[in-house]
Chain A
Amino acid sequence: RKEVEQDPGPFNVPEGATVAFNCTYSNSASQSFFWYRQDCRKEPKLLMSVYSSGNEDGRFTAQLNRASQYISLLIRDSKLSDSATYLCVVNIEGSTDKLIFGTGTRLQVFP
C-alpha cells in the first residue's frame, strides 16, 4: 500500500465549478500535512498547510481527519489557472523530516 494515496484523475471541470480532492495516508506517525501544486514540467509549490481544525485560503479549503487518516482539498469557483496537478504531502517528523508525496490529482479547468 502506498504511503500517500490520491485519485490520479484527471478531473475535468468547467470554470466556476467546485471540485474536491481526497487523500489518505497510511502512517499514523504523520505529523504535518500539506497540499502542493505542480504545473507541468515544473517544481511543486506549496499551496497550503493543512491543520486539524481545517483552514481556508481564499477559494481553497483544506480539511484533516486524523482518525480516518484522510485529507481533503476543496476548490471553489475554479479558474482556468487552477489547472495543475495537486499533490498531497505528509511529513513524518523525526531526524530527517521527510516529505512523502502522493502521486497527485490532475485538474483541468475548461472554459
Chain B
Amino acid sequence: GAVVSQHPSRVICKSGTSVKIECRSLDFQATTMFWYRQFPKQSLMLMATSNEGSKATYEQGVEKDKFLINHASLTLSTLTVTSAHPEDSSFYICSARDLQTQYFGPGTRLLVL
C-alpha cells in the first residue's frame, strides 16, 4: 500500500514556541492531504483539508492563524502549530489520499511544557 511519512515523530517544546510537522506521500502524488488531531481516549478529529496550491479548508473551531498549513507540492504538506500551549499537546496525524483510499502517516506526538 501507499506510504505516508511524518516528521518528527515526537516533539517536546516550551510554551510559546512554534512547531512544524511535515507530512510526505512517498510513492504517490497527493493533491489532497488531511490533518487530524487525537486526544487521549478520543477519536481522530479532522482539523483541516490541505489542497496543493491553494488555501487549506479548516473545520469549525480550528483556528487557521494558529495552525498554519502549507501544501506546496504534490508530496508535501506542513502543519505549523504557532505559539504552542500545553492544551495543544496531542497526537497529530496526517493522511494523504491516493485514488479512493486515505493512507495515514505514523503521527507526531506533541508535548508542550
**Stretch from B41-49, B63-71, B76-84 forming part of the interface with A:** B41-49
Across the interface, do B43 and A45 meet the contact criterion of CB distance under 8 Å? no
B90 beta carbon closer than 8 Å to chain A = no
Residues of chain A touching chain B, judged by Cβ–Cβ distance below 8 Å, are: 4, 32, 41-46, 87, 96-104
A44 and B104 contact, Cβ closer than 8 Å, known pairs A97-B32, A97-B97, A101-B43: yes
| Interface of A: prevailing SS | strand
Place the interface of chain B in its size category: 20 to 34
Indicate if B18 sits at the interface (CB-CB under 8 A). Answer: no
Q: Is B106 an interface residue (CB 8 A)?
A: yes
Q: Which residues of A contact B34 (CB under 8 A)?
A: 98-99
| 25 contacts across the A-B interface (CB closer than 8 A) | A32-B100, A41-B91, A41-B109, A42-B107, A43-B104, A43-B106, A43-B107, A44-B93, A44-B104, A45-B104, A46-B101, A46-B102, A87-B44, A96-B32, A96-B49, A96-B57, A97-B32, A98-B34, A98-B46, A99-B34, A99-B44, A99-B102, A100-B46, A101-B36, A102-B43
Given the contacts A96-B57, A97-B32, A44 and B101 also touching, CB distance less than 8 Å: no
Instruction: For A104, give its contact among B32, B43, B46, B100 (CB under 8 Å).
Output: B43
Q: In the complex, given contacts A32-B100, A99-B46, A101-B45, what are 9 additional A-B residue pairs having Cβ atoms less than 8 angstroms apart?
A: A43-B93, A46-B102, A87-B43, A96-B49, A97-B32, A100-B46, A101-B36, A101-B44, A103-B43
Of residues 9 through 68 on chain B, the ones whose CB sits less than 8 Å from some CB of chain A are: 32, 34, 36, 41-46, 49, 57
What A residues does B93 contact at CB under 8 A?
Answer: 43-44
Q: Closest residue of chain A to B46, judged by CB?
A: A98
- The interface residues of chain A lying within 8 Å CB-to-CB of B105 are 43
A44 CB to nearest B CB, Å: 6
Contact of A44 with B32 at beta-carbon distance under 8 Å, contacts A96-B49, A96-B57, A97-B97 already known: no
